[in-house]
Structure 1
């Protein structure tokens, strides 16, 4: 559970969540710590007593880390997550009191089925990625009839964006119940998404989230880049490494450009500024 940086006078503490890689976001914590924030990243699946995959992960898992930041002197709490970590962060903004800001990188607007096995070691039947107070959250299943087009060698990295797009159409009757109710969140919200995301359609998802906030008369900041992919990078972060399994879209230059454009909005929201949404 690496933490970086003491809490300064501005009293900002940030919980930093990875996506389905499950890694501890040590570098991202260091970048935030250089801005004077206390930043903490935790393992939230795959650890002792945790589901080995993102399958019915209790959202209460994140509460002790937030309390640790508060115990260290943080008076303002932010949660910054990417991909599935952004999905968790958005849910926390709705369900967990006392979160002041959420930064969702490459977000989704709905709860999805599990990625990997649950505590029972099984990946099927599909189950929710998350639970709250012991109950699984409504979710959109994945359509197992999907296959990449065009077909690729079995050892080649694959873009799975089409899987999520098809699954949303196949299970359209599940979407409303699975939609993340960001219009109920008191936290400031920053959405960062790339138009070339090859993992899932994060830019349309971000636009849906922003529309829900605006319809409710709530502030939101949305920063997008048409050429960026699934892994925007902030100033001071290394380029994301390539994957042997998945295509993420974008390019190192486009991902860095999106992160640089978003960075002042991210810092401002975490510190409690109130710039108008884009």
Structure 2
């Protein structure tokens, strides 16, 4: 399928990929804490007939350097753009912190029809990196809505990785310890997915070494079940934080973090999730 590519510079750096035959379904693609514009994932979706938009949602001009008090209106503006290009149905596909953003946007913006949350969290977490003021501490929310920071769980900076020398670190234990330390924050920081009108698909690996995305996915699904809202969890025991969709390159090696899972497990989880992703976007 021929795809028309447009590079955007306002209101954020982005790439818009449109099938030459047009599409009435748009997909916003959100990377995680890499901060990249996920062109490859957007192209895969455009080649399936969707209008795909991948944006830089932090780290660009006028944006916070880190994931710190990022306005959810950033993503609402992307929904507006997709609607303005003829999308009658809009989905958001986000991974990790991008999945957190996708879920929260759907909670606050009823025009989101589908969310695909890959390696999600069920909680609003504190900032990762500095805000517009250049400061990383004290901890602040990752997100704001209408200028108000969302309630969040801080990180417990007393945590230390166990027996991992100078190599890449698995930080899942940091999040798990922080939940115990700041247990009083959990209720107010929970992502209220039961309020979202969108259909929700959750993709998670049980061996995620960054944070416990499968337990988080199960918590999100339980909240949806309480109100009879549609939700599905696609999971594998041998997959980690970075499932790979069919046609995507293998995940790059990191010298900083351990992501968990195996290459084959990550590939097979992406394959298992691919048809449910396409089905929901096309419904």
Q: Is the 8 A contact 1:7 1:74 kept in 2?
A: no
With the length of structure 1 as denominator, give the TM-score of the two structures.
0.95
Aligned counterpart in structure 1 of residue 151 of structure 2, from 106, 113, 138: 138
Matched, 1:168 2:188: no
Q: Deviations over 1:132-177 (max 9, x none)?
A: 0000000000000000001422xx1100000000000100000000
Q: What secondary structure is seen at the aligned counterpart in 1 of 2:278?
A: helix
What is aligned with 1:275?
A: none
Aligned counterpart in structure 1 of residue 60 of structure 2, from 27, 39, 47: 47
What is aligned with 2:196?
A: 185
Distance in structure 1 (CA, Å) of the matches to 2:151 and 2:73: 17
Matched, 1:199 2:218: no
Matched, 1:12 2:25: yes
What is aligned with 2:222?
A: 211
Q: Deviations over 1:224-265 (max 9, x none)?
A: 000000001111111110111111011221101001001110
Q: What secondary structure is seen at the aligned counterpart in 2 of 1:204?
A: helix
With the length of structure 2 as denominator, give the TM-score of the two structures.
0.93
Distance in structure 2 (CA, Å) of the matches to 1:148 and 1:247: 12
Q: Which runs of 4+ in 1 moved over 6 A?
A: none
CA positional deviation for 1:74: 0.7
CA positional deviation for 1:5: 2.2
Closer, same or farther: CA 151–261 of 1 in aligned 2, 3 Å: closer
Q: Is the 8 A contact 1:8 1:37 kept in 2?
A: no
Aligned 1:256-275 pairs, distance under 5 A: 256-272=267-283
Segments of structure 1 that go 5 or more residues without pairing to the other structure are 273-278
Q: What secondary structure is seen at the aligned counterpart in 2 of 1:22?
A: coil
